[in-house]
Structure 1
Amino acid sequence: MPTLDIKSLSVPELLALREDIDKQLQAHRAELQAQLAQIRSVDGKTSRVKGIKVPAKYRHPKTGETWTGRGGVAGWLAKEIAAGRKREDFLIDKPARNGRAKAK
């Protein structure tokens, strides 16, 4: 492939070169998309990763609002904590408080 000194090209030549490059890129993109479509048709799967639903970990006893415990603290829980309550008060599956260890 011959080297090209783009600094010596005029503006119209640079614009023509850019159009040629864009056409080549579009051709390569179309070829790759066709190959991906062929792979997907053979595999039968899409490339999108589906999110995993996580069960709620905390529930407001009065409103029933829930929070999974992921991401930022839910607004309702932040208000309750600011009011002096503990996060553990809102756990959906509270651990038993009988003091005995679980059998293994």
Structure 2
Amino acid sequence: MPTPDLKTLSIPELLALRDAIDKQLLAHRAELQAQLDQIGSVNGKGGPTRGVKIAPKYRHPQTGETWTGRGGVAGWLAREIEAGRKREDFLIEKPARNGANTRRAKDT
């Protein structure tokens, strides 16, 4: 489609062109919304773990406040990190150190 010279179009022609553009944009919007709706119905809203309670990963030793490690950093943990402590200091289950083998021995 050739691009019209907007400077030579009359006002009624410009208004008609604007209406045609609006209709085309609405059609594209409807297509995109349908695609988003289809994706949403396939994936569901939020994913497979949405709404599932998980165990906390971090605990403050004095207050007992906990954080799962998901989402934004908990306020209490952010304050402790700013004070110079490390996030790992608050892990509920600390990882094995020095590469210790924590796997179970296989029964033979």
Q: Normalising to structure 1: TM-score of the pair? A: 0.55
Residue 101 in structure 1 maps to residue 97 in structure 2? no
User: Which ranges in structure 2 are unaligned for 5 or more consecutive residues?
Assistant: 104-108
1:50-102 CA-partner distances (Å, limit 9, x unpaired): 2756764322232332141765x4321132244454432211111356x6821
Q: Which ranges in structure 1 are unaligned for 5 or more consecutive residues? A: none
Q: Secondary structure at the match of 1:95?
A: coil
Q: How many residues align?
A: 97
- Aligned residue for 1:92, secondary structure, equals coil
Q: 1 or 2, which has the higher helix percentage? A: 1
TM-score normalized by the length of structure 2? 0.54
> Is the counterpart of residue 13 in structure 1 residue 13 in structure 2?
yes
Asked whether the 8 Å contact 1:58–1:66 carries over to 2, the reply is yes
Determine if contact 2:81/2:87 at 8 Å carries over to the other structure.
yes
**Amino-acid identity (%):** 54
Alignment partner, residue 66 of structure 1: 67
In structure 1, how many angstroms separate the alpha carbons of the residues matched to 2:18 and 2:77?
A: 56
RMSD: 4.0
